[in-house]
Structure 1
Amino acid sequence: MTQSAITKQKNQTVDTDQARPVFPFTAIVGQEEMKLALLLNVIDPKIGGVMIMGDRGTGKSTTVRALVDLLPEIDVVDGDPFNSDPKDPELMSQEIRERVQRNEELPIAQKKISMVDLPLGATEDRVCGTIDIEKALTEGVKAFEPGLLAKAHRGILYVDEVNLLDDHLVDVLLDSAASGWNTVEREGISISHPARFILVGSGNPEEGELRPQLLDRFGMHAQIGTVKEPYLRVQIVEQRASFDAAPLEFRQTHQAAQMKLAENIIDARQLLAQVELEYDYRVKISQICSELDVDGLRGDLVTNRASKAIAAFDGRTRVTPEDIYRVIPLCLRHRLRKDPLESIDSGNKVQDVFKRVFGYTD
């Protein structure tokens, strides 16, 4: 990471502090599983997002929002409402593609990866966008008002209490997240735009689980519980009290750790393409998925990607069995449930099969 990038990151931190102080990610005690899943999805967005399920008051929303501070900058076409990538055609809107074909010079700006909150009562029009039919008919132009999916393109879309969201809306989100495109059709008029985002959902299992078909579409599943150790509970309470009393000063004490973690994320994103996963390990991952009777191939794909991401995060270009062991419960546990009334495995079943297939002891 260059010195100019580090300086820019520091300036971003100051700007965030002045706008609205956010609890620092590095100050969050415990919940390592949730933090790891979020970081790996930022390193490789193609992992497919993460579903976080846990008790009330366990810091789900706090942790997700704290992630925003660590997000790196990306190049976007200045003024484009879809955050189009100036170099990758797959991440460009139709208008930007046409400008590229005309050999127009695109104005480029740098923008921090954004996180969009999806309100629980959001309508489909608010999420997907709307077409002005009257303008389209009278003026002959496709007047499109972008929705939250457009705003979340190349960023993070966070849905709190996703298990309370209307199933139809969840289907729309997951379809867009999987295909990378959002299509809006009204009265015979159709408009599509890229919508590649990291989908992060959170919820309380007491309020109901998602259907197995929907759960399977999330790349990873993190389970978190209330911290039981008294000394850790005291530490959490004291930190929260310190932050509430003096948020800017509290953030300042964690700025060095925040900077270091943000730098690690940027370095890992750059290193990811060089990371190798041995063929023998890939075969064993698929063997585990087969023995666990995991439907489809999403489990195989996500485990491969997550294993590479965690190796890149540690600054390595080769995946080890330890890397796979750390991520495979997050990638597979929510794919084992066949009966909607059945509870999600804690990860022990996945780890047991892993140890036998890999001959691994922790």
Structure 2
Amino acid sequence: MSKSYGQLVRHRENQSLFTAVELSILAAESSTPLHLHAEGLRGTGKTTILRAARQICGEIVRVSGCLYNCAPEAPHCPEHRHMGQQSLKSLGVEVIPMPFLEISHGAKVATVVGSIDLARLTRQEGPQAALLPGTLAQAHRGVVLVDEINRLVDTNPEIADVLLDVMGTKPGRLQIEEVGLPKVELPLTVTVWAASNPDEDPGPLDSIRRQLADRFDLSVGVKAPSDAQALSQILMLSQRLPGSMLGEGLPTAEERKLWRREPFTKTDGIVIPSAAIELVAKLYIERNIESVRAAEAILIAARMHCAYRGGHGVEKVDIVAGLTLALRHRVRPEVLADIVAEMNSIPLTLAKEQQKALSNVAEQAASPPNFMARLRDVFKSANPHSPGGPHVSQSSAPYHGAYRHVDIPGRVGPVHAGSGLGSVAPPLAARQLVEIPGVEQVKSQGDLLP
């Protein structure tokens, strides 16, 4: 029996992989692929964790019987994408587990991409030339696991080229070509997970196919446990010793129920403050990071991390978590450590402040003030003691430092009793229109009406 995801032992050397896997699943559920690459020496459990994560993947709704996993509201396969809504409705829908398929390093291009459906071609009654979707097409809206991806790239570069197309954009693109059949292009939303041992031939993925390495949004290094207690727990799980708390795996539904605990929130409600986006953009420019995908991956991972911890708006802790996973394979370790330290020292406007601002805007939109209320607001800022008279707002009066009412030789009269303010006499000379900011020149009815 396969090991239960919830009972796998988490320790300091593999915790990042658990976090990355769960963020990637959250992203897949929101139709946003977050590709993940786990690197580590043999026996570190990276592939075990990735395979066990299948138990916590969710479900999808598809057109009944569709091998391409067409979404009922947006069919994309050759058979269903040209059908009307009524015809699709007559086919019905079904709920299935999120697809989770594997590609081995010895896979053939035809099995990965697609080929002629021999069963339909050779049937006695009504033979038909049609395509049989490959692994990638059948994994639409799900996950594909590629074990030993560095060996796959070395021995089968054609499949690596296919992965480049699938992972290059979101959604990706899959092209199926067979002699005698029209070419088929499919939009593909599939999350790619990969594992590799950089210590074995042909070496690390980024030294073999750097372009493909950059396609992975997140990269995690996994090591063997350095704690004896953690290792003891792993051994008990593998041996299933009597009395061990780590026995048989749980059913998939129960496993997912345990994982999807509170305080998870829906990802579509997560707010990314403009301050967070500007911070990531500044990081990208100042650190001269090579790929724009890095900045995109940081923000996607930050959104998922916010949902993961139950937040409602991306904060600095989410940005730091995202960049730690998204930059590992893009910058040197010492540079990444310096970036994390710098991020921790930078103040960032919290998402709750933006939420409050959005809430205020929504309240104003729900009950807009009337014309007279807006008119009063315009003149509410007028200060009778401002230089130039009460009709001049504070913003348009000349700036004389921290306080506007300062001693100007020959212009400031005696201080009014009890007011603490000096009168200005004579008034300041009238200003030309070009000296007045455009926003203060005219207040029309159009400016005041909602």
TM-score range, shorter chain: 0.7 to 0.9
* Residue pairs, 1:209-358, within 5 angstroms: 209-210=204-205, 211-242=209-240, 249-252=247-250, 258-263=256-261, 268=265, 271-336=266-331, 347-358=336-347
Pair 1:22 & 2:3 matched: yes
Measure the CA separation in 2 of the matches of 1:305 and 1:244: 43
Distance 1:256 1:112, change over 3 A: closer
Across the aligned residues of Structure 1 and Structure 2, the Cα RMSD in angstroms comes to 3.2
User: Greater relative contact order: 1 or 2 (C-alpha under 8 angstroms, separation 6 or more)?
Assistant: 1
* Residue pairs, 1:127-138, within 5 angstroms: 127-131=112-116
1:62-107 residue CA offsets vs partner (Å, 9 max, x unmatched): 1011111111111011111101111134xx3132122235644231
Q: Is the 8 A contact 1:24 1:258 kept in 2?
A: no
Q: Is the 8 A contact 1:135 1:143 kept in 2?
A: yes
Residues 98-107 or 28-37, more deviating: 98-107
Distance 1:47 1:155, change over 3 A: closer
Distance 1:359 1:95, change over 3 A: closer
1:17-53 residue CA offsets vs partner (Å, 9 max, x unmatched): xxx4433334332211001111111111324310000
Query: What's the counterpart of residue 116 of structure 1?
Result: 101
1:262-281 residue CA offsets vs partner (Å, 9 max, x unmatched): 3559x54xx11110011011
Measure the CA separation in 1 of the matches of 2:348 and 2:275: 13
1:313-351 residue CA offsets vs partner (Å, 9 max, x unmatched): 2222111101111221111121236xxxxxx66942431
Distance 1:359 1:154, change over 3 A: closer
Measure the CA separation in 2 of the matches of 1:159 and 1:280: 37
Measure the CA separation in 1 of the matches of 2:244 and 2:189: 37
Of 64, 85, 90, the residue aligned with 2:71 is: 85
TM-score (norm 1): 0.81
Instruction: Give, as a single letter, the amino acid of the residue that structure 2 aligns with 1:29.
Output: R
Deviation of 1:231 (Å): 1.8
Measure the CA separation in 1 of the matches of 2:259 and 2:5: 11
Residues 127-136 or 279-288, more deviating: 127-136
Measure the CA separation in 2 of the matches of 1:70 and 1:132: 32
Pair 1:42 & 2:25 matched: yes
Pair 1:107 & 2:97 matched: no
Q: Is the 8 A contact 1:282 1:304 kept in 2?
A: yes
Query: What's the counterpart of residue 13 of structure 1?
Result: none
TM-score (norm 2): 0.66
Q: Among the aligned pairs, what percent are the same residue?
A: 24
Query: What's the counterpart of residue 193 of structure 2?
Result: 200
Deviation of 1:355 (Å): 3.3
Q: Is the 8 A contact 1:25 1:63 kept in 2?
A: no
Query: What's the counterpart of residue 148 of structure 1?
Result: 135
1:280-303 residue CA offsets vs partner (Å, 9 max, x unmatched): 111111111222221231111111
Q: Which has more helix, going by share of residues?
A: 1
Deviation of 1:176 (Å): 1.2
Pair 1:183 & 2:175 matched: yes
Distance 1:348 1:190, change over 3 A: same
Measure the CA separation in 1 of the matches of 2:55 and 2:20: 16
Query: What's the counterpart of residue 33 of structure 1?
Result: 16
The answer for unaligned runs of 5 or more in structure 1 is 1-19, 338-343
Measure the CA separation in 2 of the matches of 1:254 and 1:135: 37
Deviation of 1:148 (Å): 0.7
Distance 1:28 1:119, change over 3 A: same
Tell me the matched-pair count. 328
Q: Is the 8 A contact 1:119 1:159 kept in 2?
A: yes
Measure the CA separation in 1 of the matches of 2:300 and 2:321: 13
Residues 123-132 or 54-63, more deviating: 123-132
Larger Rg belongs to: 2
Of 162, 172, 186, the residue aligned with 1:172 is: 162
Measure the CA separation in 2 of the matches of 1:322 and 1:237: 34
